[in-house]
Structure 1
C-alpha cells in the first residue's frame, strides 16, 4: 500500500532525508522509528503531499505522490504531530466539516461521523467544544478526522506525544484496533510504542534508513549472543577467573554490594548455546549462595541504540576520510 524508493529531500546543502527506501503491506502497522531530527516528519509530509521530494518516488495505494497528489490525498488519513483542530467547534461539528471537505457523500456523512466517533470513543463528547477537551481527547479527535472518510492508508506522526500513561495506552489500543482494515504508518521516537503496536519497524537516523524488520528479528540480532543475570552471595574471588575461562562467555560484569556481600553477575555469551547449568555448577561448587539466575534478552532500545551508534560511527569515519582527501588535494 505504501512504496518508497530512493526518496531524498535536500534543503540547500543539507539533506533532511537521503535515499530512503521502505514499504508497508496492506493491513500492516509499520513503526517509523528514529531520534528527533532524523527525518521522520519530512518523510511523512512528502507522503501526505505537503511538500515535494527532491528526488525519488513514493506511491500510496498505487498512486504516485507527485503525479497524482489529489488521488493520494483521497486515499490517506493524516494526523500531524499537532492535530489540525478548530477549538471553537464541537467534536461532531468539526468531524462533519472534515467529512464534507474530504468528499464524503452527503448521504453517508452522518454514518461516517458516528462511526469515527465510535471507533475513537468520542460519543459522549460529540457536543463538547474541542477547546474544552483534554489533550488525550484532542488526540482522539485528531485520529477521528484522519479516518472519517475511511481511507485505506493512515499516517500518524507522533500520535502519543505529551499524553499521560493512561492516555497513551488508550491511543495505542485505538491504533491497534484500526489495523487490518487500514494500513498504518506510525512515526515515533518512543521505543515501547513500536514494540507494543507495530508489526514491523523501519529505523531512520540522520536522514537514512539503517534497518527494516520485525521487532523480534531486530532484537534477535543482539539476543543471538544471549546472556545471564545472576545474583550470588559470598566471596567471588575464586569464581571470577573460572567464569571468564568458561567456553562461550565473552563478557563478565560484576556489581557488588559490600553491605549485603551480594553480587550481581552480568554475563554475555557468543551464541544460543545453553551453558546455564555449567555456570550454576561452578557457583555451587565454590560454596556460594545462588539467589537468582535468569536469561537476559535485548530490548528494542538496545537494538535502536546499537544501530544508530554504528551509523554515527560510520558517518564519522566517512567525514574523517573526506577531510583527509581534501587535505591531500590542498597540499
Structure 2
C-alpha cells in the first residue's frame, strides 16, 4: 500500500532524511519512532504531498506521490501534529466543512459525519464549539476528519501529544481498532505508543533508519516503561 525507496530530503546543507527505504502492507499499522528532529514529520509531509523529496520515490496505492499528487491525496487521511481545527466552528460544522473539501456528495455528508463521530467518540459533542473542547476531544475530532470518506491510508503525526494518560489510552485503543480496515503510519517519540498499537516499528535517528523490524522482535529486547526515551532505545539497539 505504501512504498518508499531511497527517499531523501535536503535543506541546503542540512539532511532532513537520508536514503529511507521501507514499505507498509495493506491493513498494517507502522509505528514511526524517533526524537524531535529525527525526520518523522518530514517523511509524513512528503508522503502526503506537502513537501517534495530531493531524491527517491514514494508511492501510495501504486501512485507516485510526485507525479500523481491528487490521486495520492484522495487515498490519504492526514492528522498533523497540531490538528487543523477552526476553533470558532462546532464539531459538526467543522466535519461537514472537511467533508465538502473532500468532495463527498452532499447527500452522504450527514451520514458520514455521524459515522466518524461515533467511531471517534465525539457524537455527544457535535454541537459544541471546538475552542471549548478539551485537548482529548480536539485530538479525537482531528482523527475524525482524517477518517472522513474512509481513506485506505491514515497518517497520524503525534496523535496523543499533550494528552493525559486516560486520554492517551482511549486514542491508542481507537487507533488499534483501525488495523485491517486502514493502512496506518503512526508517528510518536514514546516507545509504549507503538508497543500497544503497532505490528511493525521503524525508528529514525538524524534522518536515517536506526531500526526497522517486527514489533515482537523489538519488544522482546526493549523496556515498555512510559518514561523510556528514544535516546535509551537507540543505545540499546546500537550497543552491539
Report the TM-score when normalising by structure 1.
0.69
Aligned to 1:98: 98
Instruction: Give the whole-Å Cα distance in 2 for the aligned partners of 1:63 and 1:174.
Output: 28
Aligned to 2:186: 186
Q: Do the aligned partners of 2:201 and 2:213 also contact (CA within 8 Å) in 1?
A: yes
Instruction: Give the whole-Å Cα distance in 1 for the aligned partners of 2:157 and 2:207.
Output: 16
How much does 1:309 deviate? Answer: 3.3
Instruction: Give the whole-Å Cα distance in 2 for the aligned partners of 1:38 and 1:125.
Output: 36
Aligned to 1:36: 36
> Residue deviations 1:70-96, cap 9 Å, x none?
010010000000000001111010000
> Is 1:74–2:74 an aligned residue pair?
yes
Q: Do the aligned partners of 1:210 and 1:307 also contact (CA within 8 Å) in 2?
A: no
Instruction: Give the whole-Å Cα distance in 2 for the aligned partners of 1:197 and 1:106.
Output: 34
Q: Aligned with 2:49: secondary structure? A: coil
Paired positions, count:
238
1:109–1:94 distance in 2 versus 1, CA, 3 Å: same
Instruction: Give the whole-Å Cα distance in 1 for the aligned partners of 2:111 and 2:133.
Output: 23
Gapped runs of 5+ residues in structure 2? none
Report the TM-score when normalising by structure 2.
0.94
Within the candidate set 197, 204, 223, 1:299 is matched to 223
> Residue deviations 1:161-210, cap 9 Å, x none?
10000100111111111111101000000111010110110111110012
Aligned to 2:13: 13
Instruction: Give the whole-Å Cα distance in 2 for the aligned partners of 1:310 and 1:64.
Output: 36
Gapped runs of 5+ residues in structure 1? 223-297, 315-331
Aligned to 2:136: 136
- Structure 1 runs (4+) greater than 6 angstroms displaced: 310-314
Q: Aligned with 1:115: secondary structure? A: helix
> Is 1:52–2:60 an aligned residue pair?
no
Give RMSD over aligned pairs. Answer: 2.0
1:132–1:219 distance in 2 versus 1, CA, 3 Å: closer
Aligned to 1:112: 112
Instruction: Give the whole-Å Cα distance in 1 for the aligned partners of 2:85 and 2:236.
Output: 40
